[in-house]
Amino acid sequence: MRGTRQATRRWMTLALVCAAMAASAPSLAAQTVGTNQSAGQSGTYTLTIDSQLVVETVVVKDKEGHFVPGLAAKDFHVEEDGVPQAIRIFEHQALATESTPLPVTPPDQEDITLYQRLVRTQIAPEVPGKVQYNGHRLMAFYFDMTAMPPEDQLRALRAAERFVRTQMTPADLIAVMRYQGGSVDVLQDFTADRNRLLSILETMVVGEGQGSVESIDDASSADTGAAFGQDDSEFNIFNNDRQLSALMTAAKMLGGLSEKKSLIYFASGMRMSGLDNLAQLHATIDAAVRAGVSFWPVDARGLVAEAPLGDASQGSAGNAGMYSGTAAQAVTQQFQQSQDTLYTLGADTGGKALFDNNDLTRGIVQAQKAIEDYYIVGYYTTNTAQNGHFRRVKITVDSPLAAHLDYRQGYYANKTFNKFTEADKERQLEDALMLDDPITDLTIAMEIDYFQLNRAEYYVPIVVKIPGRELALAKRFGAEHTLIDFVCEVKDATTGMTMSNVRDYVNIKLSDATAAQLARRPVEYDAGFTLFPGKYSIKFLARDDETGRIGTFQAQFTIPDLNKVTKRLALSSVVLSSQKVDVNDALYTVSRGKEQAKDDAANPLVQSGQKLIPSVTRVFAIDRTMYVFLQAYEKDGAGAANASSETAATAAPTPLFAYVSFYRGQKMVMETPPIAVTPEPATRLGIVPLSFQVGLGKLAPGEYQCQVSVLDPAGRRAGFWQGPVMLTP
């Protein structure tokens, strides 16, 4: 009874206060503070609420593998990380599979010119919360012109035309996308107009792409050199990174649609090498899963019958591998590796790759048959944290017929940098290092080298380059400086144990002069580790503290045991560079005080206060000098192998001879005079530093194979290194 009286008294008091405020409203209006409107104006207030819509496509089948129709929203139950979610969107998609051939008609010239004028860069998104293409199957034809030679481009286009003409159903909507010249073009948004699709496919120019002639450095390498492709930007020299980044862009375009999407990816293989950024592969797959896109790669080469030592398109291997079988094995492995990444893209996104089949249309039909009957289930997640963590989704169906459910098992939450406070930024960077979903907002290129320190240890310098133009963006927002954070972790690839790590930063002042320099030259960060021979993985993160963008580089590398090299000369990594800078040049590198001084003392790239800056991308201007540096090792006087052990112990060190050659096409176009260098005294390793300054003015711009040859006449041994380079005007 007492509680009731108190509640009544409080209600009466509140009513009196409200009445008093209403009565005094005219006098209070004249005393409004903090607004720019007059007393007579009415105020307008905006309330903004952000929510994240999660869309799942669920395939429900019975025990016999048949689709289960007739289910309603009340039959589905969704949980996210164990928390029940309310279903807000529900649709059933039952798609036809019968097709009617289209008569052959010539392309309309008006359609041809129209499509060329209306090339777009986006797929039209749907209205949030509304299913736009109800009752339709969405398939995007994606032609990677940079990854296919002209004959494969023609084969892929003809396969797409044959599907549109003979196997496209009324339920099919097809979009045409093309990657060429550094951008993803939408030639046609989703449409059922087969004549228009055929007109576009007929008029797509074959041969404009660069082609994808791979850079190979193994036992199958031709001694005449191989072509090396790149585009206008040196940071786009890694062909697979360009292809994967473009695929991620296409997946994000399709992410604006709620239905299941299939992207049929036409390419001539995609070989991941040691120089590729594995983080870009992970980011592309994660973006496709988040967008509900499944990749269906189609190897446009079809069924390939290769000669054991390569076909007539390349020179003979010309090395000992021809006789030991390693060259033939390398050719086979090289072809298989070119398909491994395509298989990964398909398997990890719910699609399937088509290999070794001349009927490329079969790959499109596989994607078509995979989408016949499914349910769209959408909910607004109750977890509003934008931390980038993986969220596990569980869906159940109340139906005795539902024996098997196929749906996305989870997704990575969005990441929003401005949601973090200053205290959280450090944890955010560390969390980003641990996340399986890499962030690739910043472009990062990395070179990993190794130099032997003693019998057991190797000094491993890493060099990271970030395009300065990306960091200079902070200047546009009025920032006077930009802080770049770095986090790096090196792990043993076998045990997963962390072997070394780095946490560092650089503060760059953004004056007008500095910003102008950044627009033309990269920012470089270097660090060094002492490691034993073995296989390692490295993950490197860089974050622009002003704009909040993060870049990730991830790769695996191997440090060989040079002590076991006896039949040939043991060589370190070969460093190609076009510049030397002062070790204190903060625009290029980061000063770390005593730690930096310690690294510089062990770093063979630092000599007499000058640091050799590896090119990383191996792109050089012909009007500049190329610096070539490496080390050879004559352990314990091995160069005097012909002499007796007594004589070898007292004999003077014998010199090594070395020279640099450039190959183009089928012939050598330039070779430097040989130099003779003797091992450094008082070193058991017999370190022989080899340094060259090569003028490139006599060479024309283009693609070359650079070879470094080191000869040991006394020990009758030799060592060779080859690598692709690009010369620009």
pLDDT digits (tens, 9 = 90+) for 457-467: 999 988 888 87
- Phi and psi, residue 366, nearest 5°: -60, -45
Edge-to-edge order in the sheet of strand 83-85: 83-85, 76-80, 390-397, 410-412
Domain that includes residue 167, residue range: 109-371
Q: In terms of domains, do 382 and 323 share one? A: no
Q: In terms of domains, do 343 and 210 share one? A: yes
Q: In terms of domains, do 212 and 345 share one? A: yes
Q: In terms of domains, do 296 and 425 share one? A: no
Q: Is residue 227 within 8 Å of residue 703, measured between CB atoms?
A: yes
639 in a structural domain:
no
Pairing outcome for strands 183-191 and 445-448 = unpaired
Q: Provide the 3-class DSSP secondary structure of residue 536.
A: strand
Extract the tokens encoding 484.
Answer: 């770049």
Q: In terms of domains, do 228 and 320 share one? A: yes
Query: Shortest CA distance to 339 belongs to which of 272, 283, 284, 403?
Result: 272
Q: In terms of domains, do 141 and 251 share one? A: yes
CATH number at residue 430: 2.60.40.10
592 in a structural domain:
no
Q: In terms of domains, do 173 and 194 share one? A: yes
Which of 546, 563, 580 terminates a domain? The answer is 563
Q: Provide the 3-class DSSP secondary structure of residue 14.
A: helix
Q: In terms of domains, do 444 and 305 share one? A: no
What local confidence, expressed as pLDDT, does residue 17 receive? 33
Complete DSSP assignment for 504-523: EEEEEE--HHHHHHHTTS-E
Distance CA 342, CA 164 (A): 24
Burial of 693 (0-12, 13-18, 19+ CB in 10 A): exposed
Q: In terms of domains, do 355 and 390 share one? A: no
498 in a structural domain:
yes
What local confidence, expressed as pLDDT, does residue 662 receive? 92
CA distance readout (Å), 184 to 145, 200, 252, 300, 620:
10, 16, 12, 19, 27
Q: Is residue 170 within 8 Å of residue 192, measured between CB atoms?
A: yes
Q: In terms of domains, do 306 and 404 share one? A: no
101 in a structural domain:
no
What local confidence, expressed as pLDDT, does residue 5 receive? 38
603 in a structural domain:
no
Residue 688: partners with Cβ closer than 8 Å, 6 or more residues away: 631, 632, 633, 634, 656, 677, 678, 679, 680
Q: In terms of domains, do 458 and 555 share one? A: yes
Which of 539, 563, 587 terminates a domain? The answer is 563
CATH number at residue 201: 3.40.50.410
Q: In terms of domains, do 357 and 388 share one? A: no
Q: Element (H or E) spanning 452, and its range?
A: strand 451-452
556 in a structural domain:
yes
163 in a structural domain:
yes
Which of 338, 371, 404 terminates a domain? The answer is 371
655 in a structural domain:
no
In this prediction, the residues of the chain whose per-residue pLDDT falls under 70 are 1-51, 96-121, 127-131, 181-182, 205-240, 271-277, 305-335, 337, 387-388, 415-432, 434-437, 469-482, 508-521, 584-601, 636-652, 666, 682
Structural domain tally of the chain? Answer: 3
Query: Shortest CA distance to 131 belongs to which of 194, 57, 48, 49?
Result: 57
Name beta bridge partners: 725. 704
